[in-house]
Chains A and B, each alone.
Chain A
Amino acid sequence: MRYEVPETVDAAVALLAAANGSARILAGGTDLLVQLRAGLVEPDVVVDIKKISQTRQVTAQDGGFRVGAAVTGAELDEHPDLKKNWPGVVEAAELIGSTQVQGRATMGGNLCNASPAADSVPALIAAAATCQIAGPDGERTVPVESICTGPGKTILGTGEFVVSLILPARPPHSGDAYLRFIPRTEMDIAVVGVGVSLTLDGAGQCIAARVGLGAVAATALLVTEAADALVGTAVDEGAVEKMQQAVRAACRPIDDKRGTIAYRTQVSGVLAGRACRIALERAGEH
């Protein structure tokens, strides 16, 4: 197994394309190293993208942010402006693993590992985040909810990798939140995860909403019916209840040791309601 550490996006794409499918991308390594050790993956080459400057920076862009795919959870936590604008996204990323894991784990990796239970993904979907993908045919931009196609599977073609995640500009009176359920208080994999993002007008009416749902289907979901239940309302109890029903209706969970189908479905609505109230409170503050 070879190790390559390109310093430009083009060099990384060339290495990935030349490996013809037998390359793995190394960002934080918190998933890849475990998979290597378990023999789940046996690449010919590991391409470390951390020396490519674009993958390691958080920069302001078009009123929002461009977050490099290899920026760690700990670094997100140390970016006050990002936290102020997208507290739900940063909280979701920070739920991944321990302090040690936070020192390495990245949102780019969390997304591209394509676990249905990835914590940052429902929050990114709620935030309407997009991915800047580089590849042999140039760059393309794809919404986060379109990246994963199933557990461990993404739309990324040979030679492609996610360079950055783009978080859009935040209008006034906006707020987001992410909540997950785990049986412990720390260090566990989501049984259900829900991200909610809201924008209100000056009178407190919801003018935009997005709801992302994790760990209850083969991929994280964008639940437009849930968002539709909130838009045009004052996010009152009746609207929240309709949103919760839409969230439960979107669930296609598996039965496993962490939760039954009925339990995951029930909890998804509960968490959606709570995340919505937190997002609403935050929207009122800005």
Chain B
Amino acid sequence: MARNHVTTTINGDPVEFLCDTEQTLLDVLRDELHLTGSKEGCASGDCGACSVTMDGRLVCACLVLAVETQGAEVETIEGMADGDRLHPLQQKFLDHAALQCGVCTPGFLVAAKSLLERNPDPTESEVRYWLAGNLCRCTGYDKIVRAVLDTAAEMRE
């Protein structure tokens, strides 16, 4: 069976790859392109650890077939920092100790960035609902929510 040839854009760079139809975007990011920042938690769209954006829309990479990214613009956690300069969200997650084991962190960061791009001044409730699809078993969420709200406040200044 011929593999699918896909031309796409990931974090602003043109990328080409071959994939089987059943391979998800997450499979290709991690196993073919070695972009291992997006994590596989559940592989069923429940945990959000593989959150990426596709054409500006927040999605779970485990619920997208890699072949669907033909012609799309994909943004992953690897595109978040500008070289050594952390994105404000990344810095605030460190400042607030909003992580422990770190497996959920890339997904939270990508999801939170997507929220702040749409809503620069979210309420705590809006942050919690937006991030309801990102599961964290370490922090109890409070530090994450505070880090996002603090980032939003700083970015508005």
Q: How far is the CA of A26 from the CA of B67 in the complex (A)?
A: 12
Whether B22 and A104, one on each chain, are in contact in the complex, defined by CB atoms closer than 8 angstroms, is: no
- Name which of B10-18, B126-134, B148-156 contacts chain A: B126-134
Q: How far is the CA of A100 from the CA of B54 in the complex (A)?
A: 11
Q: How far is the CA of A101 from the CA of B60 in the complex (A)?
A: 7
**Interchain CB contact (< 8 A) of B22 among A36, A48, A187:** A36
A255 CB, min distance to chain B CBs, angstroms: 25
- A97-135 near B? 1/0 per residue, CB < 8 Å: 111110110000000000000000000000000000000
**Interchain CB contact (< 8 A) of A26 among B20, B24, B65:** B65
A180 CB, min distance to chain B CBs, angstroms: 15
13 residue pairs bridging A and B, Cβ less than 8 Å apart: A1-B1, A29-B65, A29-B68, A37-B44, A48-B68, A97-B45, A97-B133, A100-B58, A100-B63, A101-B45, A103-B59, A104-B59, A187-B46
Q: How far is the CA of A3 from the CA of B64 in the complex (A)?
A: 13
Whether A74 and B57, one on each chain, are in contact in the complex, defined by CB atoms closer than 8 angstroms, is: yes
What residues make up the interface of A, taking CB atoms closer than 8 Å to B?
Answer: 1-3, 5, 26, 28-30, 33-34, 36-37, 46, 48, 50, 72, 74, 97-101, 103-104, 186-187
| Interface residues on chain B, size class | 20 to 34
Whether A46 and B21, one on each chain, are in contact in the complex, defined by CB atoms closer than 8 angstroms, is: yes
**Interchain CB contact (< 8 A) of B132 among A30, A104, A187:** A187
**Residues of B contacting A28 with CB < 8 Å?**
63
Whether B133 and A29, one on each chain, are in contact in the complex, defined by CB atoms closer than 8 angstroms, is: no
Q: Contacts A48-B68, A100-B45 given: A2-B133 contact, CB under 8 Å?
A: no
A73 CB, min distance to chain B CBs, angstroms: 11
**Interchain CB contact (< 8 A) of B21 among A1, A74, A187:** A1
Q: How far is the CA of A50 from the CA of B131 in the complex (A)?
A: 26
Whether B111 and A1, one on each chain, are in contact in the complex, defined by CB atoms closer than 8 angstroms, is: no
Within 8 A of A (CB), among B84-128: 111, 114-115
Q: How far is the CA of A74 from the CA of B55 in the complex (A)?
A: 13
Q: How far is the CA of A33 from the CA of B67 in the complex (A)?
A: 13
A247 CB, min distance to chain B CBs, angstroms: 29
Whether A100 and B68, one on each chain, are in contact in the complex, defined by CB atoms closer than 8 angstroms, is: no
Within 8 A of A (CB), among B18-56: 20-22, 24, 43-46, 48, 51, 54
Whether B21 and A98, one on each chain, are in contact in the complex, defined by CB atoms closer than 8 angstroms, is: no
**Residues of B contacting A30 with CB < 8 Å?**
45, 63
Which residue of chain B is the closest to A104 with respect to CB atoms?
Answer: B59
Q: How far is the CA of A98 from the CA of B51 in the complex (A)?
A: 11
Whether B67 and A3, one on each chain, are in contact in the complex, defined by CB atoms closer than 8 angstroms, is: yes
Whether B64 and A29, one on each chain, are in contact in the complex, defined by CB atoms closer than 8 angstroms, is: yes
A16 CB, min distance to chain B CBs, angstroms: 16
Q: Kindly list 15 other residue pairs between chains A and B, CB separation below 8 angstroms, not including A2-B1, A99-B132.
A: A1-B1, A26-B65, A34-B45, A37-B44, A46-B65, A72-B57, A98-B133, A99-B130, A99-B131, A100-B51, A100-B58, A101-B60, A103-B54, A187-B46, A187-B132
B124 CB, min distance to chain A CBs, angstroms: 14
Q: How far is the CA of A26 from the CA of B24 in the complex (A)?
A: 13
Whether B65 and A101, one on each chain, are in contact in the complex, defined by CB atoms closer than 8 angstroms, is: no
